[in-house]
Amino acid sequence: MKQGIDYIGVGCGALILNENEEVLVMKRGKEAKNQKGHWQIPGGTVEFNETFEDAIKREVEEELGIEIEVGELLTICDDIMPEEKQHWVTPQFLCKIKNGNIINKEPEKCEEIKWLPFHQLPEPQTLPLIEAVKAYKEKYL
């Protein structure tokens, strides 16, 4: 049985901002689990016996080679993708880089990585990206 397909999957996301209030976004590649070509924030699947915070730290290190500090919970996204027959529940956290330089460690899953201001985020976007940005703007902008 597969998470997100045979039963609801649990994921996590990191809205990472830099000192210029730009968002770190990634374009999903040809080997992504779903929504290929969509822009997303870093994150991924929560494993059994893993906290959200530990999962986000692990996923970001696996994807980008950086260490992050996990901050407050921004929102919880009910990401239902009928066209792909998937359903994921993903809390989105505000995070910042603690250590390291960004590198694309999973080029088959991620085509592109960019820092962009909120008003220049490209389309199409995953629902977790949309919801995390909306929650951040409502609270801070």
Does the pTM surpass 0.75? The reply is yes
pLDDT in tens, 38-77: 999 999 999 999 999 999 999 999 999 999 999 999 999 9
* Residues facing residue 13 across a β-bridge: 43, 92
pLDDT in tens, 15-46: 999 999 999 999 999 999 999 999 999 999 99
Was domain 9-140 assigned CATH 3.90.1010.10?
Answer: no
Task: Assess contact for 41 and 128: CB atoms under 8 A.
Answer: yes
Q: What residue ranges do the domains of the chain occupy?
A: 9-140
- Both structure tokens of 125: 């976007």
